[in-house]
Amino acid sequence: MKIGNITFPKYPVFLAPMEDVTDISFRMMCKKFGADMVYTEFISSDALIRNIEKTQQKLTICEEERPVTVQIYGRDPESMVEAAKICEEANPDILDINFGCPVKKVAGKGAGSGMLRTPELMLEITEQVVKAVNIPVTVKTRLGWDNDSKIIVDLAEQLQDCGIQALTIHGRTRAQMYTGEADWSLIGAVKNNPRMHIPIIGNGDVDSPLVCKQRFDETGVDAVMIGRACFGAPWIFREVKHYLETGEMLPEEPFQWYLDVLKQQVNRSVEMIDERRGIIHIRRHLANTPLFKGIPDFKPTRIAMLRANTVAELFEIMDGIGNQFQLH
């Protein structure tokens, strides 16, 4: 599979763009464990052209994480074009347009998956952005606004006609948000449409090596994107890639190995920001990591971790968890 001049291996697996998750420190962790491409947090076009500092910081990328995609969103064609040009100056490998975010503050204002209610405007923005930059432009979207308007099969052809070089589809409607099961049948329908010739990337509920391989086999997608399943588990890319390449599950590591990875995440986050904000940023990963699921009476320990204010305090709690496992 190729996007622009970038050639990917068989069975490419990508890190999904996620707000407050895929900052540079986490992208680097996922890259280290085998993600074939990583995406920035999504960037507001309006905030970018107003030079909002926090938004500008999201454009920071480094050579070690390539290929890397910068993702933008908005609903005004002129602002999106201007933002696209600013993004291009940051020198990403690809520019992605977010037409999929379902959260109210984005979709409710007509951006993200809100664009699924105004497909003509979506296509206008896409066409203008493609013309405005010299790097490959891709799109990420959903099946449709709700169950009665799953427009993705026709929409995919129209987006392709605008000049995008790949399309990522999340197998839910906007109305579903993140509830229910992702429907990959329509993703497969887009991929198997003989009129489609750009790469199709599937996204939604890929949480294990077995599921990932199943999605490739059943739909024929060119790549699979992993989102929420990597929270507090960047090693999922290592496990998935091993299974895709060998057909065998990677043996489990000792508990301490996974704990050390989470500590690396904490340290990287703190190094990129500062101690207080770095710890706050990493709490979502510590709260959702599968490593601590199933530990009896774990709630007080989880609360203590999420209240920790220093790395020393946090690591002391984590070491206590590790010691418990060594004793058993």
Q: If you ran DSSP here, which 8-state letter would residue 146 be given?
A: S
What pLDDT score does 328 carry? 47
Once rounded to an integer, what is the mean pLDDT over residues 128-147? 96
User: Rounded to an integer, what distance in angstroms lies between the CA atom of residue 66 and that of residue 283?
Assistant: 26
Beta strand segments in the chain, E: 2-3, 6-7, 13-15, 38-44, 68-73, 94-99, 137-142, 167-170, 200-203, 223-226
Beta strand segments in 87-185, E: 94-99, 137-142, 167-170
Q: What is the pLDDT of residues 256-274, one digit of tens each?
A: 999 999 999 999 999 988 8
CA atoms within 13 A on the CB side of 7: 0
The active-site residue out of 30, 62, 87, 101 is: 101
Question: Between these two residues, 298 and 152, which has the higher pLDDT value?
Answer: 152
User: Rounded to an integer, what distance in angstroms lies between the CA atom of residue 236 and that of residue 313?
Assistant: 27
Share of the chain above pLDDT 70, in %: 99
Q: Is 101 part of the annotated catalytic residue set?
A: yes
Q: Which residues contact 88 (CB under 8 A, 6 or more apart)?
A: 95, 133, 134, 135
Give the predicted TM-score (pTM) of the model: 0.94
Confidence of residue 124 (pLDDT cuts 50, 70, 90): very high
Q: Is 271 helix (H, G, I), strand (E, B) or coil?
A: helix
